[in-house]
Amino acid sequence: KAGVTQTPRYLIKTRGQQVTLSCSPISGHRSVSWYQQTPGQGLQFLFEYFSETQRNKGNFPGRFSGRQFSNSRSEMNVSTLELGDSALYLCASSLGDRETQYFGPGTRLLVL
């Protein structure tokens, strides 16, 4: 079974731009969570989607948003990029509620 896939793998943007990242979960998985990983803060939870509904949200500003489609694929968007948004963005999928999460390879975003 194919794992979680994320596109693009690498991205360079400039301050003020916006970016959209994509995540395709493992087949049959209905829950998708997004995390930001930085050396200083570690892995921080952004939000979780289940059956196209946002179930949970972390403590990030409104510039960070996401959505999930009927095929469980998810996108996250960051508007008005700041230098501090440079990070590895990880997507994780699980079968459903309270199930184990499996991570994708991540998208490394660099904001200049």
Partner 1 sequence: QKEVEQNSGPLSVPEGAIASLNCTYSDRVSQSFFWYRQYSGKSPELIMSIYSNGDKEDGRFTAQLNKASQYVSLLIRDSQPSDSATYLCAVRERDDKIIFGKGTRLHILP
Query: Minimum Å distance from CB 51 to partner 1?
Result: 14
Residue with tokens 């998708």: 32
Toward partner 1, which CB reaches closer, 22 or 102? 102
Q: Is there binding between residue 100 and partner 1 (CB under 8 A)?
A: yes
Contacts with 41 (C-beta within 8 Å, 6 or more apart), sequence order? none
**Per CB under 8 A, which of residues 1..30 are in contact with partner 1?**
none
Token digits for 23?
A: 């995540």
Query: Minimum Å distance from CB 33 to partner 1?
Result: 7
* Cα distance between residue 83 and residue 68, in whole Å: 26
Distances (CA, A) of 34 to 25, 28, 86, 88, 112: 11, 18, 15, 11, 22
Q: Is there binding between residue 90 and partner 1 (CB under 8 A)?
A: yes
Q: Is there binding between residue 85 and partner 1 (CB under 8 A)?
A: no
Binding site for partner 1 (CB under 8 A): 33, 35, 41-45, 48, 55-56, 58-59, 90, 97-98, 100-106
